[in-house]
Amino acid sequence: MVEEKIFCIVAAAGRGIRLGKEYPKSFYPVEGRTLLERSIESLAKWGRISTFVVMVPPGWEEKAKKLLSKEMPKIDLRVVAGGKTRQESVAIGLKEIDGDPLILIHDACRPFVSPSLIERVVSEAGISGAAVPVLQATETLGRLRGEELEAILPRDRVVYIQTPQAFRAQVLKKAFMADEDLIRVATDESSLVLASDMPVKVVEGERWNIKVTVREDIDIIRSFLAGRKLDLPDTESSG
């Protein structure tokens, strides 16, 4: 039996304004290695991704190729210039993929994704067509109206959505046929799939699958790499 091909689109085209840097967030160095390198290394440990399609800002293609080919010369890698928004970049990446394989989409600024999490997402998407990892909300959540608290949301019905998200290619391509305004404001691919009236299943996410957004997140990552005092499933060898 031939094993199904699985593609991974890595969203690495963000500029990282909230980090206060002039270069892209995915190229931010943490303990000697960029977030992009760490993320792709973590993804590659799962062992079943056939091809990586890495979306970077225009002009950063060669830099990304040199970084990744040096550290991970054996992976099948395509580096492509992304668009102005995340969804524009993913749409460009989709054009690199033919047929109806499973597609993972992962944020390059989540460097600690584990093989077990990837396996859960892919297994569910292989059955249902679309799956995302989530974490149950643990804090009280409120809805605002202007500068006032309007209502408290029921915490048991609210989750935090992570990546990698997994989809059948045809599911994702149908979702990207949505209105351009909707695509422009969408924050992730699952929201587009839902807007296209297709179901999205959830699997258990991981607390250490953190997303680097602000400077404090970098401090958390450095602390983890320095001490590794907390358990991180299936990621013992990097650092």
Q: What is the DSSP string of 95-149?
A: TT--SS-EEEEEETT-TT--HHHHHHHHHHHHHHSEEEEEEE--S-EEEEETTEE
> Using an 8 Å Cβ cutoff, are 192 and 123 in contact?
no
Of 78-87, 98-107, 112-121, 177-186, the least confident: 177-186
- Site of tokens 């949505």: 178
- For 13-44, the pLDDT digits (tens) are 987 665 656 678 899 988 889 999 999 999 99
Class of domain 6-134+160-227: alpha beta
70 pLDDT above the threshold of 90 = no
Of 95-99, 110-114, 181-185, 232-236, the least confident: 232-236
133 pLDDT above the threshold of 90 = yes
Contacts for 177 with CB less than 8 Å, ≥ 6 apart: 196
Average pLDDT of 38-66? 96
pLDDT band of residue 141 (cuts 50, 70, 90) is very high
User: What rounded mean pLDDT belongs to the chain?
Assistant: 89
Which among 10-14, 104-108, 216-220 has the top mean pLDDT? 104-108
Burial 184-215 (b: 16+ CB within 10 A, else e): eebebbbbbbeeeebebebbebbebbbebeee
Confidence at residue 239, expressed as pLDDT on a 0 to 100 scale: 38
Burial 95-122 (b: 16+ CB within 10 A, else e): eebeeeebbbbbbbbbbbbbbebbebbb
C-alpha–C-alpha distance, residues 189 and 174, integer Å: 11
- For 158-179, the pLDDT digits (tens) are 999 999 999 999 999 999 998 8
- Top-confidence residue, 183 or 177: 177
Contacts for 198 with CB less than 8 Å, ≥ 6 apart: 129, 130, 171, 174, 175
230 pLDDT above the threshold of 80 = no
pLDDT band of residue 205 (cuts 50, 70, 90) is very high
How many residues does this entry show for the chain?
239
| Per-domain boundaries in the chain | 6-134+160-227
If 0-12 CB within 10 Å is exposed, 13-18 middle and 19+ buried, where does residue 70 land?
exposed
C-alpha–C-alpha distance, residues 130 and 200, integer Å: 5
CA dihedral 217, 23, 7, 73 (to 10 degrees): -100
